[in-house]
Structure 1
Amino acid sequence: MLEIRPTCENCNKSLPHDSNEAMICTFECTFCMYCVSLLKGVCPNCGGGFEKRPIRPSQLLQKYQVSTVIVYKPVDLKVHLQKFNS
């Protein structure tokens, strides 16, 4: 089951369970669509790509709670782009 992390790792934007802007990589690193575009679609943590995060239906939230852990690790875009655009 996905964690459904609450915010973008780069800009800390709120990404609730029903957000249409949440993107995740294979390790569930979570970023908003805007930051994914800045990152050129490459996860700064694993180098993988991103997919749209599924929406957890409201009626399942009590039984399958979403994560409250905030992972906030702003990306140095210059370093990221040099690393993954070579």
Structure 2
Amino acid sequence: MHHRNHSLVTSKIKASMSRKGNCWDNACMENLFSHFKSECFHLYSHQTAEEVKDAVRRYIRFYNYQRFQEKLNNLSPYEYRTQAS
């Protein structure tokens, strides 16, 4: 077993790549991190780990509940998921 795989197994973490060499497997997370970095992280100076954690919490809430997305008919992810309810 490779060292990385052993660490994943012992930590009970599932690898996100489902197929070898398929770059689309992680596309949604790469997209989220790209938006986070450009819309939040690089815009503000964080001095402590707690400030970074707070920024991440605020951004995730903003992304899910307020940030509209064209691909979701200009709705936030939350609005899009709940419109059929």
Q: Please give the range of the TM-score, normalised by the shorter of the 2 chains.
A: under 0.3
TM-score by length of 2: 0.25
Richer in helix (by share): 2
Richer in strand (by share): 1
TM-score by length of 1: 0.25
Kindly indicate whether structure 1 or structure 2 has the higher relative contact order, using CA contacts under 8 Å at least 6 residues apart: 1
